[in-house]
């Protein structure tokens, strides 16, 4: 059972998402809130595995909520669920530790897949967002930095992460077990000093590691 929490200021959408998720096998909505005013206390109280986070909310918005959560919790998976697909919001979300970025117009079945993907360590993004991210980081003209002492195998795994491969796809591509993929990715995170796939991909682009 994947335990989910919602942050969405539109009451109809909040209720609709709650009904969709609770009505699907393997998912449970622990709680739903209209803004992030008390987000730290709420996350600590309910201990969700995945948070669906709207961006444009009154009082305390989703980006600020994301920052607050990441100050105290690096483990919970946070998906930004929004109507916005502009560069500023995408960049802020990824830079502050979002695990994925998906649009509200995402079909219900796909939304459930995204939640599952995030819970197992993936970094789901709507296709149009992923394209923007690639363009945004490739446009950065930073000099090539250190390679963070990544092994050739780790660089290969990181390259596949950048290209959007899932753990299962990486295992198939490299002819290794999925547990081996997880081991490589854990070491990559440690060497890059990051906590999520989206952060690793962002750093790979920023420092031109791959």
The model carries a pTM of 0.65
Alpha carbons within 13 angstroms on the beta-carbon side of residue 2 total: 24
CATH class assigned to 137-206: mainly alpha
Categorize the per-residue pLDDT at 209 as very low, low, confident or very high, splitting at 50, 70 and 90. Answer: confident
Q: Could you tell me the residue ranges of all domains in the chain?
A: 2-125, 137-206
Question: Is it the case that residue 98 has pLDDT exceeding 60?
Answer: yes
Q: Per residue in 6-18, is it b (16+ CB within 10 Å) or e — as a string?
A: bbbbeeeebeebb
Note the CATH number of domain 2-125: 3.40.50.2300
pLDDT digits (tens, 9 = 90+) for 32-53: 999 999 999 999 999 999 999 9
Q: How far is CA 83 from the centre of its chain?
A: 16
- For 176, list phi and psi in degrees, rounded to 5: -130, 165
Alpha carbons within 13 angstroms on the beta-carbon side of residue 209 total: 27
Neighbours of 124 (CB within 10 A): 25
């Amino acid at each position: 059972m994947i335990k989910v929490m919602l942050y969405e200021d539109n009451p109809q959408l909040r209720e609709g998402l709650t009904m969709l998720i609770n009505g699907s096998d393997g998912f449970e909505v622990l709680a739903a809130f209209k803004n992030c005013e008390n987000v730290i206390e709420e996350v600590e109280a309910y201990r969700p595995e995945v948070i669906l986070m709207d961006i444009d909310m009154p009082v305390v918005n989703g980006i600020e909520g994301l920052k607050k959560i990441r100050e105290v919790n690096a483990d919970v998976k946070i998906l930004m669920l929004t109507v916005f697909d502009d560069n500023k919001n995408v960049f802020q979300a990824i830079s502050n530790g979002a695990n994925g970025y998906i649009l509200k117009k995402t079909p219900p079945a796909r939304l459930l897949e995204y939640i599952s993907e995030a819970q197992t360590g993936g970094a789901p993004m709507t296709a149009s967002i992923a394209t923007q991210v690639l363009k945004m980081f490739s446009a950065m003209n930073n000099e090539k930095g250190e390679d963070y002492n990544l092994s050739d195998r780790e660089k290969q795994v990181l390259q596949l992460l950048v290209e959007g491969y899932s753990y299962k796809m990486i295992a198939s591509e490299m002819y290794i077990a999925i547990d081996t993929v997880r081991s490589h990715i854990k070491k990559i995170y440690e060497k890059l000093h990051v906590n999520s796939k989206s952060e690793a991909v962002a750093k790979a682009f920023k420092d031109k590691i791959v």
